[in-house]
Structure 1
């Protein structure tokens, strides 16, 4: 019986029973533990376990939770994958999704600096869609996710609509929600830091019944802080409660309810283009700079083993969101004073209902191990958005004088929209002698769109029927080494009257997970193309068509516990983007140009060194990180300048006061490096140095 899908994780493999059931130390649970979710398939045997990897203590993941709709070995997954575990998120004090993704291959983050309405990131040069437990959250939805809510963040690079449905071609980012566990959990933290940051967090849980069939978990955070510019605030709150019922080894039902709020300022206004200004300078309006976000979500996750190799899974989610903001932006060049300004505001709300039902059938057919996946998915979203504009008094950045709130705002957009998506999908995995794995997938989406414009007095409707395919072949050269070739398609979310953007990707990859070491090394070469693309004019906000863009590149990534004292995360990406064909964009010929915000080279390295305690002194861990981003054009027209190549350093230190208490110090942008990361009507700088001190207690 092959052991290659069970990697070494901080300990040896355990053997028990005459049937030789193999259980990893990381997956092992006592009789009271969670018993069904998720199912990890191996040749000839199925493992049922509480979770995929030891996300709380290790930066290395060997399994995926729902990135492929079912738990699966990363070594056998025919795609370029990164998993950022809870341990890594805490170690780097990652407070936003931009922070979480900073050390992942193929990823560019935070290219709009102090525009804090959204998390901005690109995968392989394109936008990427976000998901929660495999169900879509969308792309740049105006909600910054709370990392504390998740055990891990999984990144699948490149086109993959067959797995997740209508999605942007850059890739998919999947958040894996913390669920109740049949064990006692006590985790409390308090943080103080730069910009008057004060924060309290907790994550607690336990069983409710003597037989451990019912368990609960409560996770929360409250933050009182400012941003790095004057007259700012960055307050937030989050509370999530969950119940899990497991009456037997084959059934699990979880209910998770959470509320996320944000009371902040969305934007500094930017800085005159071509200048060099202090990050603390505020060129907006103190009385008109608000970001109010509230989201309520309820999720039900059901898993049931029907026997005979058949497993049922279902994930249902409902949410309602309000997202209101208003700020003043500037538009002007350095030295041409005063610079122009404008008020802009948006009031938005949305209701969403989404869910899926998935059947998985596993069967042994002689030398072939077969796993068949089929499912249905449904999503219905209704939204209302009203956006306003008004001219603002120009301002002199050398001596800013503020003029207050606008007397009136003129609506330039007032619309109500609805989208219904119904999908059917199937995937077939066939493994021959656990050496050759064939993966085939297909998905068909039907979308109905409606948009009412209350300004234009129109009511528009459209519908789309889109099919996406996926095919891959994986070769297990040894139990430690796999290579794959894959083809995958994507269909981006469409708009009424506009053909959906489509992506096609060819990829070759190799992965190595050495036995005897908790590590994973990967490399991937790809050719990704996207057609029917539109770009946004940052001055007029109009959209115009770009015919076809090609991105070719190389992604390298390593995560390894090299010794008991040293852990390493490293990545390098080479990205070559080119507009292959296009009509002129805003009168400018862009054929042959590079894509905006896409550098040719990007690299990162994080190293931790643990110094064991001696005598009364506890363990200490020293961490140092470096992030390199090469130069890139600010827009696809390549006529608005380009960024400087930049190297940023991060650092971390932790001290174990006792077995249950730890003090941590984190410094982002250690040298306070400053450069322009984005340019539209104004310049936006990268975040400055930030320091945080955290006291954490686990017992």
Structure 2
């Protein structure tokens, strides 16, 4: 007989699980059809993921239900219901079909009705941090710091899964986001040093808007921003709009959270050889699996070596990368994952821009070559080494409370010698040049602690989050430079002497930032249809800049504090439609300058109103989001009318627009992604003449993309996948005075892959792939407004071929 306490726990756990079930409802299929399965004995969650991907089943439930559990495996021909029943044997789990048809994993007990197995349609088992084998993700950690259904999040969010990354083969995080609504992932043109990403018209990278595993990757300047390795990522999430309520200081446009590859419960072995344009040669490896028979210990080891040129003469894109990880799960209630990485880049290319006359505008000598190098191959270098060590700890205190701690310490060292041009002479051939030498070391220590409570009162389901996070970041920078000999941009002569530049170190400074934030968030679900979000956060930030030796600039010290909040409401209709409305805020300290009287500026702030509709058709692996937003960025630094050598924090920029995003796995053979965004960007306050009412420079208002892939399922061409995409970036201006426009451009991408295992079973696990971006080799200008009236070309055609082998 079941004890009352056990019955109560079972009922409570069942209710908690219902609070995290996905919105999509799943139709019941007739029993009888069967297919062949070959799933080895081992960890249950890995087996369910494989079974779901093959059978087309969506299962929801807390990841703690399957943690530490094993299955006897599945070998042979089974119907969907019989196969799932076999996998769950001895696990203490069963599944329920809810009134709306959705499927839920629950503990087996007399208090939880164990229904007869039912076959259903959908996608693979999905968690917000683990591997998703599909195109469409259903859950996220970025929006709330809790494992939440995207369809129950009243804010616009996108997830790029590993499947999409593998299909499109992007070479940077910015390129990963090429097919994401409202995001310009290559806002800085050709740049192998760093990712420059704008969301809804606002820079999301300079303000620390790139996160890794939920923790900020902060840098103090453009030159010190870290570049992530795409091969080391499981997925990339974009949360649009202000996010300070959970993450502290951030960009008003949104944040990008990259999720590292994690240890796997199932053996994983992958080798990838790649070659391509600009003499690219790359070797990558990814290994993972259990380290103990009971699954308590598991690991992941990801590595990459690359030697490559770029579309610019003498510029390199060489990299060495390794990322070990290990997970320890001593019980169903406790887990610890340690994540480490080391990356070494040799880029050569530093600041790169060419004169506007000869790129955007015509010159009597014709267009400047897109591969023109304005530095010197004997002098220029841009080398970066970075490493990080962190962990993610989770412990379920009881059926209600869970504690999580996320920590990381990272260091990066950057050395550069760069010669760049600062202006075109009247002869339209000769450019003046400036040489810079610099060293910079950046250190980051971050710690995020929070308690999560899942509790229920009547028809109300609560997820409460309370936490505190801390960040300490510092940089030591030494640099300087001077004018060097000019260069004929049409007939350059290199290999000159620059030894006297070593005497011009005039930057010698240390900068430091400390931040503490406390936050409280409530996710409330009522009657299985209404979702309410409410959260608030208080931040305290302290920054200082200290100058040494020959650096005569004034020292800066500043303290800031801000309270930010957000709220949202959503209705989950039975037909899969979910309208929502939300409000959110952000802040970011203005620490790059001081006022004319030496005082500090108030923080830059952002606020957003958003309404939208999410739609996930019942039984489908797809979703559609339409959102309208009104986003305002305030306290933007603008020129001091009394002395334009200083600034005042009175500027304001508005971004109002619409976004449409759709992803669909229409069948086993056909995938489709379509996106469109329009942002009306306007400078509403400025002390600079002729700026008010204008569109900010280098911010296109319209973005659109379309991607589709078809995989042949049977016949002689079975295993062949053909993909293609088109990207549109609308016109913009070279500056905020809107003095000249930058034309729009349209680019085409393509992919072709073949599963060699379809040719012969002896080749099982091998795959050939060919990818091309900017297929028609369009020459276009991506940005202007740089030092010396300069512009930057965008990426030319890039073709890569790869051979991968998985076993």
Same-fold call, TM > 0.5? yes
Q: Which residue of 1 aligns with 2:695?
A: 594
Query: Does 1:371 find its partner at 2:470?
Result: no
**Secondary structure of 2:408's match?**
strand
Q: Does 1:564 align with 2:602?
A: no
Partner of 1:667: 772
Contact 1:142 1:323 in 2 (8 A): no
Match for residue 728 of structure 2 among 628, 634, 639: 628
Q: Residue 378 of structure 2 aligns with which residue?
A: 287
Correspondent of 1:472 among 568, 574, 581: 568
Find the aligned partners of 2:556 and 2:385 in 1 and give their Cα distance. 29
Distance, in Å, in 2 between the alignment partners of 1:167 and 1:390 is: 35
Contact 2:610 2:630 in 1 (8 A): yes
Residue 145 (structure 2) pairs with residue 69 (structure 1) = yes
Contact 1:114/1:267 (CA < 8 Å) preserved in 2?
Answer: no
Structure 2 residues without counterparts, runs of 5 or longer: 1-14, 27-51, 72-90, 92-97, 108-124, 359-366, 595-599, 758-763
Whether the 8 Å contact between 2:274 and 2:801 is mirrored in structure 1 is yes
**Using the alignment, how far apart are the partners of 1:391 and 1:429 within structure 2?**
58
Distance 1:218 1:509 in 2: 41
Q: For each residue in 1:292-346, what CA deviation from the matched residue of structure 2 results, as whole angstroms up to 9, or x when unmatched?
A: 1111100111011111311111101111111222212113348523121111233
Specify whether residues 536 and 222 from structure 1 end up closer, same or farther in structure 2 by C-alpha distance, changes over 3 A only: farther
How far residue 458 of structure 1 moved from its aligned partner, in angstroms, is 4.6
Matched residue of 2:256: which SS?
strand
Contact 1:78 1:474 in 2 (8 A): yes
**Cα pair distance change 1:560/1:30, threshold 3 Å:** farther
Query: Is residue 330 of structure 1 aligned with residue 421 of structure 2?
Result: yes
Q: Rate the CA distance shift 1:29–1:519 in 2: closer, same or farther, 3 A.
A: farther
CA distance in 2, matches of 1:46, 1:31: 13
More helix by share: 2
Question: Is the Cα contact below 8 Å between 1:114 and 1:268 reproduced in 2?
Answer: no
Q: Which deviates further from its counterpart, 187-196 or 281-290?
A: 281-290
**Which has the larger strand fraction?**
1
**Equivalent in the alignment of 2:489:** 397
> Could you say if the C-alpha distance between residues 287 and 637 of structure 1 is closer, same or farther in structure 2, counting changes exceeding 3 Å?
farther
Deviations 1:207-264 (CA, angstroms, capped at 9, x unpaired):
1112110111100111011111211211101101111110111110111111011011
The answer (yes or no) to whether the contact 1:53–1:61 under 8 Å persists in 2 is: no
Q: Is 1:240 equivalent to 2:326 in the alignment?
A: no
Alignment of 1:435-474 (within 5 A): 435-454=529-548, 455-456=551-552, 458-474=554-570
Structure 2 counterpart of 1:645: 744
Q: Within 5 Å, which residues of 2 pair with 1:166-185?
A: 166-185=249-268
4+ aligned runs moved over 4 Å, structure 1:
1-4, 6-15, 22-25, 27-30, 42-50, 53-56, 540-546
Of 596, 604, 608, the residue aligned with 1:505 is 608
Q: Which moved more, 1:491-500 or 1:149-158?
A: 491-500
Distance 1:236 1:543, change over 3 A: farther
Other-structure match for 1:18 = none
1:116 aligns with 2:192: yes
Once the two structures are superposed, residues 398-429 of structure 1 have per-residue CA deviations (whole angstroms, 9 ceiling, x without a partner) of 21112343522523432101111111001011
Q: 1:690 aligns with which of 798, 801, 807?
A: 798
Larger radius of gyration: 2
Match of 1:489 in 2: 585
Q: Is the 8 A contact 2:24 2:619 kept in 1?
A: no
SS of equivalent residue, structure 1 residue 552: strand
* Aligned counterpart, 2:626: 523
Q: Using a 3 Å threshold, how does the CA distance of structure 1 residues 277 and 460 change in structure 2: closer, same or farther?
A: closer
Matches within 5 A, 1:259-338: 259-267=342-350, 269-275=352-358, 276-333=367-424, 336-338=428-430
- Counterpart Cα distance in 1 of 2:553 and 2:778: 50
1:335-371 deviation digits (Å, cap 9, x = unpaired): 5231211112331101111011110111110011111
CA, structure 1 residues 268+166, in 2 after alignment: closer, same or farther (shift >3 Å)? closer
Give the Cα separation in 1 of the matches to 2:264 and 2:513: 36
Deviates more, 1:135-144 or 1:227-236: 135-144
d(CA) in 2 for partners of 1:70, 1:46: 19
Alignment root-mean-square deviation, CA: 2.7
Q: Are the counterparts in 2 of residues 32 and 182 from structure 1 also a CA contact under 8 Å? A: no
- Larger deviation, residues 564-573 vs 112-121: 112-121
Question: Is the Cα contact below 8 Å between 1:62 and 1:73 reproduced in 2?
Answer: yes
Describe the SS at the equivalent of 2:164: helix
Unaligned runs of 5+ in 1: 16-21, 36-41
The change in CA–CA distance for 1:544 and 1:498 in structure 2 (over 3 A counts) is closer
Q: 1:552 aligns with which of 656, 659, 676?
A: 656
Matches within 5 A, 1:38-437: 51-52=127-128, 55-128=131-204, 129-138=209-218, 141-267=224-350, 269-275=352-358, 276-333=367-424, 336-402=428-494, 403-409=496-502, 410-437=504-531
Q: Which residue of 1 aligns with 2:23?
A: 5
Find out whether 1:31 has 2:69 as its counterpart: yes
Residue 686 of structure 1, CA deviation: 0.5
Please tell me whether the aligned partners of residues 14 and 24 of structure 1 are also in contact (alpha carbons under 8 angstroms).
Answer: no
SS of 1:300's partner is: strand
Q: Distance in 1 between matches of 2:499 and 2:680?
A: 45
**Segment of structure 1 superposing worse, 519-528 or 263-272:** 263-272
CA contact (8 A) 2:24 2:616 kept: no
* Partner in structure 2 of residue 39 of structure 1: none
Does the aligned pair in 2 maintain the 1:534–1:544 contact within 8 Å? yes
Rounded Cα–Cα distance in structure 1 between residues aligned with 2:772 and 2:639? 35
When residues 332 and 596 of structure 1 are mapped into structure 2, their CA distance, relative to the original with a 3 A threshold, is same
Q: Deviations over 1:18-50 (max 9, x none)?
A: xxxx6599x9789349x9xxxxxx999897988
Contact 1:106 1:573 in 2 (8 A): yes
Higher deviation after alignment, 64-73 or 214-223: 64-73
SS state at 2:174 partner: helix
